[in-house]
């Protein structure tokens, strides 16, 4: 299984800032186990808005970028869809 896009964003932040998975999960507002499930099984559905807000805030990324990653991971978007170009 390919690493979910949302996890790729999280991993990039972890590498850049040297934060542990447990600490990052806490800052986002999820459990370490939930983050582990995202990593190993992908997203089964779209996370709650508050969770995506937490990811965006902690990773210092635009919400729409985090939302797009989650939508792709949960199979609501495919390779031809592009959210960021339609949001102005």
- Domain containing 47 — which CATH number? 1.10.260.40
Range of the domain at 70: 5-86
Cβ count within 10 A of residue 60: 9
How far is C-alpha 48 from the chain's CA centre? 11
pLDDT tens-digit readout, 9-48? 999 999 999 999 999 999 999 999 999 999 999 998 999 9
Cβ count within 10 A of residue 41: 10
Cα(77)–Cα(80) distance, rounded to whole angstroms?
Answer: 8
Cα(48)–Cα(39) distance, rounded to whole angstroms?
Answer: 17
Integer CA distances (angstroms), 34 to 4, 9, 80, 85, in order: 13, 16, 29, 30
pLDDT tens-digit readout, 55-70? 999 999 999 999 999 9
Domain total in the chain? 1
């Amino acid at each position: 299984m390919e690493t979910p896009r949302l996890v790729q964003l999280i991993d990039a932040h972890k590498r850049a800032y040297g934060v542990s998975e447990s600490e990052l999960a806490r800052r986002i507002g999820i459990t370490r186990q939930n983050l582990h499930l995202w990593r190993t099984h992908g997203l089964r559905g779209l996370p709650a808005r508050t969770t995506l807000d937490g990811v965006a805030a902690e990773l210092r990324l635009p919400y729409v970028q985090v939302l797009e990653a989650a939508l792709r991971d949960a199979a609501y978007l495919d390779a031809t869809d592009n959210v960021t170009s339609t949001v102005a």
